[in-house]
Amino acid sequence: MDQTGAATLRLRTDHGVLSAEDAGAGLTRVNMGAPVLDWQAIPLARDVDIDHLPIAGDPAATGMGNPHVTFFVPDADAVELDRFGPEHEHHPLYPQRTNVEVVQVLSRDAIRLRIWERGTGPTLASGSCSCAAVVAAVRRGLTDRRVTVHVPGGQLLIDWREDGVWMEGPTAIVFEGVLTPAWLA
């Protein structure tokens, strides 16, 4: 949008086409689409209650174009993420591995989130993880549908509406690169 001056754009992802819009004040709003709430589509290895998985800690499962497991804890900072994350990323219930979210509910409209991204490790922020955490919290009756998510890298506003899960936050260029013909070959 910065390059073209457009106030809206559409992004094609493996999950589908996502609409994005300028929210003003340096913020961007993206419709991340409807959450995936079917065990086969998340995907899970077998039919289970996605709101109360048969895993110690009673987590919930959500899909946001990628699989998520969300744990609700009294103190997100007390969780040893370097141990907890990989242990659950590779849980047998998740045949494609999973992102792991540790959520501390602060109020009906705010949560603290720590993230272990599958294949990456701990991250400062993640849009799909933030969305999945809010969807799981709403399904559990712990929060309202419009929630500020505090992550180590800042904060995002997640709003689960009828037309999808909307994410709003600041954007920044974090990397630029050029793919050489040799690399592409």
pLDDT tens per residue across all 185 residues of the chain = 878 888 988 988 877 888 889 898 989 999 999 999 999 999 999 999 999 999 999 999 999 999 999 999 999 999 999 999 999 999 999 999 999 999 999 999 999 999 999 999 999 999 999 999 999 999 999 999 999 999 999 999 999 999 999 999 998 777 889 989 998 88
Q: Is residue 9 part of a domain?
A: no
**Contacts (Cβ under 8 Å, ≥6 apart) of 28:** 1, 20, 21, 22, 168, 169, 170, 171
Q: Is residue 11 part of a domain?
A: no
Q: Is residue 8 part of a domain?
A: no
Q: Is residue 10 part of a domain?
A: no
Q: Quick one: DSSP state of residue 77?
A: G
Q: Is residue 20 part of a domain?
A: no
Tally of domains in the chain: 1
Q: Is residue 3 part of a domain?
A: no
pTM of the model: 0.91
> Domain containing 124 — which CATH number?
3.10.310.10
Q: Is residue 110 part of a domain?
A: yes
Distance CA 70, CA 134 (A): 9
Domain that holds residue 122: 25-184
| Residue in 20, 12, 33, 21 with CA at minimum distance from that of residue 132 | 33
Q: Is residue 105 part of a domain?
A: yes
